[in-house]
Amino acid sequence: MTAAELREPRPGRLPRRLPLRQVLCLLPVLLVAVAAVRHRSVLAEGFAHLRSAEWPWLLAAVGTTCLTWVAAAVTRQGAVVQRLPRRRLLATQFAAGAANHLLPTGLGASAVNLRFLTVCGVSLARSSAALALYMLAESIARLALLAALLLAFPNALRLGGLLPSGVVGPLLYTVGAVLVAAAGAALCVRRLRAAVASFVRTALSEARSVHCRPARALALWGGSLAFPALQAVSLVAVGRALALPVPSVHMALAYLAATTAVALVPTPGGFGSVEAALVVALVAAGGPAAVATAVVVAYRIITVWLPLLPGALTLGALVRLKVI
């Protein structure tokens, strides 16, 4: 019997199962299709708004959206001492954006970047520490920008008529209780306490190593500041394209406030929660509800839905090429 005959499937034999890597290559595209079907009414409404918008401003929004991936790549490089391959790093951030919109917020991008760092030779402990440093720096930068704009424009947001009375206090108490419970569990469980202590030691060591290199520290904090600033500029550009009667700085402040408020909501890509928070924030900044809704839908089309399929294809290609 020849080798070709041996390779041919015999009658009645079950077909060979697809390798796991091929399944993982197809999974992102499948998830995009499912998400698009579930949100088809939002997509139709968003594209309708884009047809009536001013295209120069929309192109500006697309350009600043592309720059957010560059800022993310710069920040990721700043979080590790080891030099990472630039092109693969940038492609990974583009793919991570798609993964982040298909999985609960933060999990998709973290998983993709963790895998990328380990493939690049960074140990799992150091890769996890780098992810934690990145998220900490980005959160601090976002809060710093928000605080600076609130101090400069204290009357930009009028939330009094939008939030139920007495809702802020219980919300803060709930967040505090969750943090205290998590800290208590980490201290009471012996194995968990040992794991947390080991991770903290590794993270502090990595943070010291990064900040001993001025280039890495500049990339970490410069990219962390640029990332939310570019996202806010994208929203401002879409607002200008649809003639939203709100000052540009107030729109940027509304974006930072809304995204900070929904940061703890574990929905895929913030679908639903981000849109609602942005509409509330833009109305609080003085925009009409109808126009604010149109701006938010068009903004999410540009920043989420248009890059989603190319990002998913890039993610599948990176998996196939064993970059991640």
DSSP string, 263-290: TT--SBTTTTHHHHHHHHHHHHTT--HH
Residue with the bigger pLDDT between 289 and 105: it is: 289
H or E stretch covering 31: helix 20-38
Instruction: Pick from 50-54, 78-82, 262-266 the range whose average pLDDT is largest.
Output: 78-82
* CA distances (Å), origin 12, targets 1, 15, 16, 137: 19, 9, 12, 58
What whole-number distance in Å separates Cα of residue 214 and Cα of residue 274?
Answer: 35
Backbone angles phi, psi at 104, to 5 degrees: -50, 145
Check pLDDT > 80 for residue 45: no
Q: What pLDDT, on a 0 to 100 scale, did the predictor assign at position 218?
A: 96
Helices marked H in 153-213: 168-188, 190-211
Query: Which of 1-5, 186-190, 257-261 is predicted most confidently?
Result: 257-261
Distance, in Å, from the CA atom of 38 to the CA atom of 50, rounded to the nearest integer, reads 20
With bands split at pLDDT 50, 70 and 90, how would you rate the model's confidence at 27?
A: low
pLDDT at 175 over 80: no
CA dist., res. 254 & res. 262, Å (int): 12
- Alpha-carbon distance of 65 to 230, in angstroms, equals 7
Residue boundaries of the structural domains of the chain: 19-162+171-320
pLDDT at 162: 44
Q: In sequence order, which ranges of 103-123 are alpha helices (DSSP H)? A: 107-119
Q: What CA–CA distance (Å, rounded) separates 92 from 90?
A: 5
Say if CB 151 and CB 273 are below 8 A apart.
no
How distant, in Å, are the alpha carbons of 18, 45, 151 from that of 13? 15, 50, 71
Q: What is the mean pLDDT of residues 285-307?
A: 86
pLDDT tens digits along 183-241: 666 566 666 666 677 778 888 888 999 999 999 999 999 999 999 999 999 999 999 99
Mean pLDDT of 20-30: 60
Each residue of 270-279: pLDDT tens digit?
556 778 888 8
| DSSP character string of 206-255 | HHHHHHTSHHHHHHHHHHHHHHHHHHHHHHHHHHHHTT--S-HHHHHHHH
Per-residue model confidence (pLDDT) at position 291: 84
Report yes or no: 256 and 232 within 8 Å, Cβ to Cβ. yes
DSSP H helices in 123-167: 124-152
pLDDT at 280: 84
Mean pLDDT for the chain overall:
80
Q: Write down the pLDDT at residue 87.
A: 93
Higher pLDDT, 114 or 32: 114
> What local confidence, expressed as pLDDT, does residue 14 receive?
45
Whether the per-residue pLDDT at 295 is higher than 70: the answer is yes
* Amino acid 10: pLDDT: 54
pLDDT in tens, 128-164: 999 999 999 999 999 999 999 989 888 887 755 444 4
- C-beta separation of 92 from 323 below 8 A: yes
Residue 322 has pLDDT above 80, yes or no: yes
Residue 21 reports pLDDT greater than 80: no
* Interval 79-95 mean pLDDT: 93
